[in-house]
Chain A
């Protein structure tokens, strides 16, 4: 086709067309390479996630027993759940919407975990990040989108970072255990943001919420009529960035060294205190960014109690995802599906939403019991898995 066009058209146009084709080809090539890379990453991850997959199946099995005992048909319930979560574009959109914030909090948990820290305060970092983004979103009116959105996102990340920095310093300087401090700070965040939207920042009306953010601060919705927003791109990007940071940078190297063997890291000239502070602060920033994305993309205002515990889910998703970024992407889709599908299930079959929560809990429970899963695998004749670990 192009050859014939070239002969017919004047030279100038040919050059323009050729350039256009070359660019297009390059773009296609790049996308292809990226997709190949991602699929390779996922392919490498999948076999490692066999125990997780078994755990999910087990969870559904035990969940079925619970359903039978409570007098519901497990088949109907699961069908409703699945079709609700993946059955149509709307379902898929809702599933991904629910998955997005969990990706952030799970990555936050992962990053701190790689440094040997248990940041279980992602919920608090998520909330302060969300609130900071809302405030920046409300406060400016005349800014261009490409300034306002990054600014609000950055505000969220910075607020989350601060919320991670406090327990980090307490740990590094005073030895205060981060499990206690991050969890306690979560409650502080919950009530401080609660106070803020009930008093200084309360919008007129009876709901404890802020006014809507400016249009210029909104992250676009990408799959109308669902609430899925561009925040999911930020999430996927962050997953890639986390992988890169952990594997290819000095920060990641030091963080992992401390997490695996603090004594040897110290001998190798790595400052453990610095590493702890850095890891928890970055972890907080990740959760805060998630909160910001949620406000700018989904709610467009800070509403008291808008998070149904995304921070806590992050911990579970990080574990179910096998503590790596690619696995976290997959696991967060599962948890998103349980949330969105659970709601659909309640609507269509009157099975209470709690069943979805029970399923979530069971998945985590079975993932946390690797010995049981290993035993089942062995019984199932899959001895290779045992020998490969």
Chain B
């Protein structure tokens, strides 16, 4: 039995909630990040804030912490109206936030970091190290958070650094603690430790807001969960009265299903063959564990999975941006496991990167310069030894601007001046016009409006119908669903299942993504 409480009216709660945000709206150019959000957290509660990337979780919490100012809406802390202009105002009100990126000084010790900014002093000048250690020690014992106080931060694992961040917030008198995607940087064991610490905080009467997009975690640790989607509250549910598939449904939503005409090929031909692929993540841990799959011509293989389960590493390994530790990658029968990106581009790999501004475009380059990136060193653009044939490039740029309806004043406008959707069109125009055999598209519609999303999806299907093999990685389950011929589910660096979308339910997929083992 589930009970949804849609934006609880003020009179519903008798005791003043620790946090109450009413009608919060925050607009960024072109996006409504928060759209009239009502959000309330009871004192002493662990409250999950769940949603996909870009759903508005972090923006909402940054407003609470004073990093952003809401365009509309009110904030009440312990029932009292609060104007939170800056993080220091938030700290004053007893709100602490632990960001995804830690704000610790690596060369200082744990104790020094914890007291940073309000350290006990002798004669108001000298640091009183003895007093510092004592007060911090006492403090750690109270919250049952164990850390070696004299160790310098840089020598500690990430999980412990995070604990220091939490202690720092508590030392400054936080009663409300906001944790932004705290497990995204942790190993499963570290995450378990963190959960213990959070429960201990709850026993001490602290209020915790836990931001996440991982369903299982939220269910494991939270009392209540509020789900956001596209800047709006979908609902608030008690963790004990719901399950992962219901949360997944709320999180992803049932939007319009795009339907596409897909031609079926006569013969199946393998374009990309991946065998026992292993690669390390940025932190040196194994991010891909023996991944094997094939992608055929005239096929879109969708990779479903909660973000951070190895998708990024897979894309980078396939495009030559990340070193492969073991295994084989074959493109059209040619072994490209160790080939550099330039070689792979030449052999027909196109890449629509996850972060178009960081990986996809050179923002200060003109539209034209961006369009020839990757082919700039080959005919027809590089004709003689080193000269770039600007005329050829200009004609090419004009043609693509027309073909992909790139909204730009001219070919010489810097990519920086274009809107997000137009920037993505620019990436697609470049990547799809090279006659690719394989397209690796990572989050191709993230952050785009409906029109641009539709355009990107249509183009992807179009490329498929022209014989491309497409690997589609997306956090948007709808997208995977609508486009894929087959769906592979990734969990903790492994492909745990390959499914036919016609014969699989959304719930089943959600469970696989959450790591559940199905018969």
Contacts and interface: CB of A to CB of B under 8 A. Distances in A.
Contacts of A264: 358-362, 373
Nearest to B356: A264
Contact of B373 (A249, A257, A263): A257
A250 B374 CA distance: 11
Given A248-B387, A250-B388, A269 B345 contact: yes
A251 B364 CA distance: 17
B342 A260 contact: no
A261 B377 contact: no
Interface string A129-151: 00000000000000000000000
A269 B319 CA distance: 9
Contacts of A254: 376-377
Contacts of B382: 250
Contacts of B376: 250, 253-254, 268
Main secondary structure of the interface of B (DSSP, over half): mixed
B363 A261 contact: yes
B358 A269 contact: no
Interface in B24-82: none
A271 B377 CA distance: 12
A267 B341 contact: yes
Interface string A56-72: 00000000000000000
Given A249-B386, A250-B377, A253-B388, A267 B363 contact: no
Given A261-B363, A264-B360, A248 B341 contact: no
A271 B340 contact: yes
Contacts of A266: 321, 341
Contacts of A267: 319, 321, 341, 351, 353, 359-360, 374
Contacts of B388: 248-250, 253
B373 to A, nearest CB: 4
B363 A260 contact: yes
Contacts of B373: 257, 264-265, 268
A253 B393 CA distance: 13
A265 B387 contact: no
A257 B370 CA distance: 9
Nearest to B361: A264
Interface in B386-404: 386-388, 390
A172 interface: no
Contacts of A251: 386
A49 interface: no
Contacts of B342: 269-271
B369 interface: yes
B374 A268 contact: yes
B195 interface: no
B171 interface: no
A295 to B, nearest CB: 30
B365 interface: yes
B386 A269 contact: no
Given A250-B376, A267-B351, A269-B374, 13 more contacts: A248-B387, A250-B382, A251-B386, A260-B362, A260-B363, A261-B358, A263-B359, A264-B360, A267-B360, A268-B373, A268-B374, A269-B341, A269-B377
Interface of B: 319, 321, 340-346, 351, 353, 358-365, 369, 373-374, 376-377, 382, 386-388, 390
Interface of A: 248-251, 253-254, 256-257, 260-261, 263-271
6 contacts: A248-B390, A261-B358, A263-B358, A264-B361, A268-B376, A270-B342
